Amino acid sequence: GRSSCTASLGGANLAETHKALILKLNPNENCTWTIDRPENKSIRIIFSYIQLDLDGSCDSENIKVFDGTSTSGPLLGKVCSENDYVPVFESISNSLTFQIVTDTAIIQRTVFVFYYYFSSDTFDCALKKPHLMMALLQLQVCSVRRLDLDGSCDSENIKVFDGTSTSGPLLGKVCSENDYVPVFESISNSLTFQIVTDTAIIQRTVFVFYYYFSSDTSIPNCGGYLDTWEGSFTSPNYPKPHPELAYCVWHIQVEKGYKIKLNFKEIFLEIDDHCRFDFIAVYDGSSTNSGLIGKVCGRVTPTFESSSDALTVVLSTDYANSYRGFSASYTSIYAENVNTTSLTCSSDKMRIIINKSYIESLNYNENNLQLNDPTCRPKVTNVVEFSFPLDQCGTIKKVEDYLITYTNIITFTESQTSEVITRQKHLQIIVKCEMEYNSTVEIMYITEDDVIQNQSALGKYNTSMALFESSSFEKPILESPYYVDLNQILFVQVSLHTSDPNLVVFLDTCIASSTSDFASPTYDLIKSGCSKDETCKLYPLSGHYGRFQFNAFKFLRHLSSVYLKCRVLVCDSNDHQSRCNQGCTSRKKRDISSYKWKSDSVIGPIRLNKDRSASGNSAIEHPSRMEETQKQPFSSLHLFSVMVLAMNVVIVATIVARHFVNQRSDYKYQKLQDY
């Protein structure tokens, strides 16, 4: 059988409030220790370090803790080598017994035990009174509570008052529905709390921890305000043991539109199933009154994510078992899902968001991006963000009539460090904030080698522009750039993408430009709903579509490329006084008219067919278009070319024949003389 040993620990010296033991154990041993306190005190025992047989089973080698003076008392719990936490047990009575049984393995065994006494009151609340009284003021923390979850806050609650009775000022009320760790501070040197329960027959437990502190003392690096887009912070004294009786609050605030990802690199606090002694609490908001995301302790490395741009972190410690504390870092995460790009315009600044995956798909990275002013650099998180005042970073301001436009261009610069030499296309993101009276239109589109790839007018309603082959507007033209013949009519349609049948689209203004950013001189096709070009014809209102046709040759005689931009108004079709139903009007009448929304759409470039071979872009023509071209019979232009070639052949033949005749006249036969 196993050898046995017994020991009586504590109880003789009433002034002794806590004790630590280092136990060295032999193989095949059964040892029992009893802790007995002669006054009405409970005992908390902590096994902060256990070195037992890692290969042994939990049945053959373990630590058992019992309430009372012997192993016949109620079992409070069992500990084995396989446990990955710091075991903590509390006695119900004023005595506690723990038993350690070892197997036959010949190894070194060490157990570190720490225990102390605390008082229990009639409310079934464990009042842990510190052995160090710091000052006069008092802090009270209800760190674990178990009240009637189905009860109302009026019938079952905890109230905290300043002073010596419930007639003092109410500091706060706690119910089972509270999702935070309640913390109260007295104003005077006394505090009273009252617990009221309803008639439900359930088990109720409230753990209360209070200590005294001085209002004019503080712990260095204990809490603070963090307002950068990323950062790090640690518990006081990290990596040395954290201070006792600390209550530290960190408020993290990032830019609007972002949320916060908090990552704990290390946490080393006292372990407890309910984290009653030392703990970290994380709140989803700007204060401890926000919703509790999580409460942790022990040895864990969790990650938390806020739902908004604010997060609050609390560290609360008691007077015993100080360990390394914690080390944490945080970063901003853009809250919205951005597939490629997004633009936000306000009265004083412009914000551009670009998805990092989108940049990588183009074989670039965030270091290749620059604004008109390359010294303005982006902020890089899970997205790339350019945010700058409207009058900075090379932004171009243009005032035209009633409209103010702010334009900037993000250029993708070629990487100088790339090991593989490949041709990178000339990419630009053109962003515009157009402001008129109290409304703003946000426009963003991407050009690749001066060809508009995709465009989005951001806002309540989204629109797009396309070219069509005929006035039936059935077959959109897919290739870009689009090459036109001499005097070819172009059919243009702007579409509103919405399921609301009670909306109508109106083409207010359309302009043509030789550049994709429309910074060069522009030409009016439509203005205030009126045609401004003799070749431009507007179609009547047609629900979600605004349509017109024009001849681009007039512009292409002088320009190598033409880009189109149209201002679209969206109105309620049932509003007969709306701007859309007024058609072509003067400026004065237009000012007092109404519409629901406005948006811009762009498309281009359009080029002449004679420039196709010189441009080198014929390879990107849509296959269907090429097939149709191959199947077409000779056009009049082809016939004319054949006739010119035939005439040239005739002329050349005539010249050769005449030259031969002339040669014969110059060399006539002469009669030979007779000898």
pLDDT one-digit tens code per residue, 204-234: 777 776 766 666 667 888 888 898 889 999 9
* 284 phi and psi angles, rounded to 5 deg: -90, 75
> What is the predicted pLDDT for the residue at 282?
92
Strand bridging mode 439-448 / 427-436: antiparallel
The C-alpha atoms of residue 84 and residue 606 are separated, in whole angstroms, by 70
Residue 623 has pLDDT above 50, yes or no: no
What is the predicted pLDDT for the residue at 120? 52
Q: Which CATH class is domain 7-118?
A: mainly beta
Given a cut of 70, is residue 114 above it in pLDDT? yes
Provide the pLDDT for residue 132: 28
Across 150-179, average pLDDT: 82
Omega cis (within 30) before 521: no
- Residue, of 21 and 56, whose pLDDT is higher: 56
The structure tokens listed for 672 are 């030979």
Q: Which residues pair with 527 in a beta bridge?
A: 530
Helix (H) or strand (E) holding 330: strand 325-334
| Residue 241's pLDDT band (cuts 50, 70, 90) | very high
Q: Scanning the structure block, which residue is given the tokens 């502190």?
A: 213
Could you tell me the CA-to-CA distances from 411 to 97, 371, 428, 446 in Å, in that order?
A: 74, 6, 5, 10
**Which of these ranges, 163-172, 367-376, 455-464, has the smallest mean pLDDT?**
455-464
Q: Which residue has the tokens 């006792």?
A: 244
Superfamily of domain 224-334: Spermadhesin, CUB domain (2.60.120.290)
Distance of CA 77 to the CA centre of its chain: 45
Distance of CA 342 to CAs 292, 352, 385, 408, 426, Å? Answer: 32, 6, 10, 14, 20
∠ Cα 666 671 675 (to 5°): 145
Residue 105 has pLDDT above 50, yes or no: yes
pLDDT digits (tens, 9 = 90+) for 307-361: 999 999 999 888 778 899 999 999 998 888 887 888 888 777 888 889 888 888 8
Residue 367: its pLDDT value, please? Answer: 86
What is the average per-residue pLDDT within 27-33? 89
User: Range with the lowest mean pLDDT among 52-56, 111-115, 533-537?
Assistant: 111-115
Distance CA 260, CA 244 (A): 29
Select the CATH number that applies to the domain covering 342-414+426-437+451-459 from these four: 2.60.40.3210, 3.30.420.40, 3.40.50.300, 1.10.3720.10: 2.60.40.3210
* Rounded Cα–Cα distance for residues 247 and 516 (Å): 59
- Cα separation, 530 vs 524, in Å, equals 10
> Of 563, 396, 577, 579, whose CA–CA distance to 481 is shortest?
563
Tell me how many degrees the CA angle 297-300-302 measures, rounded to the nearest 5: 100
pLDDT of residue 318: 81
Please check whether residue 140 is in contact with residue 55, taking contact to mean a CB–CB distance below 8 angstroms: no
Written as six digits, the tokens of 625 are 């278009």
Residues 6+ apart with CB under 8 A from 85: 271, 298, 299
- pLDDT confidence band for 100 (50 / 70 / 90): very high
Model's pTM, two decimal places? 0.49
Assigned token pair, 35:
């802790």
> What CATH code is assigned to 125-214?
2.60.120.290
pLDDT digits (tens, 9 = 90+) for 117-138: 766 543 333 333 332 222 222 3
Question: What is the amino acid identity at position 450?
Answer: D
Contacts of residue 11, Cβ cutoff 8 Å, sequence gap at least 6: 35, 36, 37, 38
Contacts of 628 (CB under 8 A, 6+ apart): none
Q: Which amino acid appears at position 199 of this protein? A: T
Q: Which of 61-65, 127-131, 274-278, 559-563 has the lowest mean pLDDT?
A: 127-131
Q: Distance between CA 366 and CA 386 in Å, rounded? A: 11
Q: How confident is the model at residue 487 (pLDDT cuts 50, 70, 90)?
A: confident
| Token output for 9 | 């620990």
125-214 against 224-334: fold identical: yes
Listed in sequence order, the residues at least 6 apart from 547 whose beta carbon sits closer than 8 Å to its beta carbon are 473, 491, 492, 493, 494, 507, 538, 539
> What is residue 398's predicted lDDT score, i.e. its pLDDT?
82
Contact 393, 408 (CB under 8 A): yes
Cross-strand pairs, 250: 224, 313
Q: How many CA atoms lie within 13 A of 16 on its CB side?
A: 15
Round the average pLDDT of the chain to a whole number and report it.
76
The ranges assigned to domains in the chain are 7-118, 125-214, 224-334, 342-414+426-437+451-459, 462-585+594-608
Give the model's pLDDT for residue 618.
38
pLDDT at 242 over 90: yes
The angle formed by the CA atoms of residues 531, 536 and 537, to the nearest 5 degrees, is 80
Rounded Cα gap, residues 539 and 471, in angstroms: 10
Kindly state the DSSP code that residue 15 receives in the 8-state scheme: T
Tokens describing residue 332 = 């901003």
Task: State how far the Cα of 102 lies from the Cα of 2, in Å rounded to an integer.
Answer: 9
Both structure tokens of 490: 């172009």
pLDDT tens sequence across 642-669: 565 666 655 655 655 555 445 444 433 3
Least Cα distance to 564 among 542, 547, 581 occurs for 547
Per-residue tokens: 496: 């509103």
Percent of the chain residues past pLDDT 90, beyond the cut: 17
Torsion angle, alpha carbons of 337, 339, 343, 344, to 10: -10
Structure confidence at residue 456 (pLDDT): 47
Alpha carbon 618 to its chain centroid, in Å, reads 41
The answer to whether 10 touches 16, Cβ cutoff 8 Å, is: yes
pLDDT score of 50? 82
The predicted model gives 522-533 an average pLDDT of 89
Strands 3-9 and 29-36: parallel
* 391: nearest Cα among 369, 376, 401, 378: 376
Torsion angle defined by CA atoms of residues 67, 71, 73 and 78, in that order, rounded to the nearest 10 degrees: 60
| Confidence (pLDDT) at 42 | 81
- What CATH architecture is 462-585+594-608? Sandwich (2.60)
Least confident of 45-54, 79-88, 529-538, 641-650: 641-650
The closest alpha carbon to 23, from 42, 45, 2, 44, belongs to 45
Is 551:490 a contact under the CB 8 Å cutoff?
A: yes
Distance in angstroms (rounded) separating the CA atoms of residues 587 and 611: 40
